[in-house]
Amino acid sequence: MRHYIEERALELGNFIIENRTTVRAAAQNFGISKSTVHKDVTERLAKLDPFMAKQVKRILDENKAERHIRGGEATRLKYGREGRKVG
């Protein structure tokens, strides 16, 4: 694995842990794709720092469990409290 990829994986892991952020937010902050973030923190980080990888996995699992709530909030903000009115 190239050195800069290892560094990026460790930086992403630290960023996600410190900010308890989502893969999408980390990708946006680092200017890379969600797929790259996911691969870095699930596969590459596990080889570099297994303890950090477990911490990141715990945060990502929490985010996954809560995403339906965040999605509902986004819809409410977009369409207002009562939702979209048809007709």
Task: Give the model confidence (pLDDT) of 70-80 as tens digits.
Answer: 667 777 777 87
Structure confidence by residue, pLDDT tens digits, 4-57 = 999 999 999 999 999 999 999 999 999 999 999 999 999 999 999 999 999 999
C-beta neighbour count of 82 within 10 angstroms: 7
87: in domain: no
Place of tokens 């989502």: 22
84: in domain: no
60: in domain: yes
Q: Is 35 exposed, middle or buried (0-12, 13-18, 19+ CB in 10 A)?
A: exposed
- Greatest C-alpha distance within the chain: 58
Q: Which domain holds residue 45?
A: 3-79
The model's pTM is 0.76
Helix 3-19 × helix 50-79 angle, to 10°: 60
20: in domain: yes
Strand, coil or helix: what is 58? Answer: helix
14: in domain: yes
Q: How many domains does the chain have?
A: 1
